[in-house]
């Protein structure tokens, strides 16, 4: 019973530390250095607790397997948490034939900014609409665009804000 408890603790600690590592890396990529550092402190603390339990019983391969299984589960769990948090902004690029419904008007009517550039596509003139939206709202905005203009080609990129534009009056 004691071994099972120890294996479970190793596994759970590893899930926690690897999950935190995944989120920490995303925070860093989004420019949230302070939050990443704060999370990194707890991540390393949990890792030390997990490795101490493994090193305390290296003669038992089950401890090493629990450690490795926790790593795998933590990777998956961290990705799920990061997806749920949906940190940051995304850039939607919408390319649509010029003679189809305007995506920019729809986006603006729903409170989003939209920048339009006219271009020449494979099959003629197109409108290229750029819109930055919170990452957690991307799926809804894409659904809205597709419902309004099924001919639109949509790409999504993760962005990092360098600086906010200031309006001058």
The pLDDT, as a whole number, for residue 99 is 92
- pLDDT value of position 57: 80
Supply the pLDDT for residue 9. 94
pLDDT in tens, the chain (169 residues): 888 999 999 999 999 999 999 889 888 887 889 999 999 999 999 999 999 999 988 788 999 999 999 999 999 998 888 778 777 789 999 999 999 999 999 999 999 999 999 999 888 999 999 999 988 899 999 999 999 999 899 999 987 666 555 565 5
CATH architecture of 89-159: 2-Layer Sandwich (3.30)
User: What span, in angstroms and rounded, lies between the C-alpha atoms of 100 and 150?
Assistant: 9
The pLDDT score that the predictor gives to residue 60 is: 85
pLDDT given at position 162 = 60
Q: What is the pLDDT of residue 3?
A: 83
Tell me the domain boundaries of the chain: 2-85, 89-159
């Amino acid at each position: 019973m004691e071994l099972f408890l120890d294996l479970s603790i190793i596994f759970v600690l590893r899930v926690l530390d690897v999950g935190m590592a995944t989120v920490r890396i995303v925070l860093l990529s989004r420019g949230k250095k302070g939050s990443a550092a704060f999370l990194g402190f707890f991540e390393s603390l949990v890792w030390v607790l997990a490795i101490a339990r493994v090193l305390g019983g290296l003669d038992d391969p089950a401890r090493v397997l629990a450690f490795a299984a926790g790593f795998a589960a933590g990777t998956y769990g961290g990705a799920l948490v990061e997806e749920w948090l949906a940190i940051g902004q995304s850039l939607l690029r919408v390319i649509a034939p010029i003679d189809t419904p305007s995506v920019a008007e729809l986006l603006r009517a729903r409170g989003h900014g939209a920048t339009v550039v006219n271009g020449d596509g494979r099959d003629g003139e197109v409108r290229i609409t750029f819109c930055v939206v919170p990452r957690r709202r991307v799926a809804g905005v894409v659904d809205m665009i597709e419902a309004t203009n099924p001919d639109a080609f949509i790409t999504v990129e993760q962005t990092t804000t360098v600086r906010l534009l200031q309006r001058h009056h």
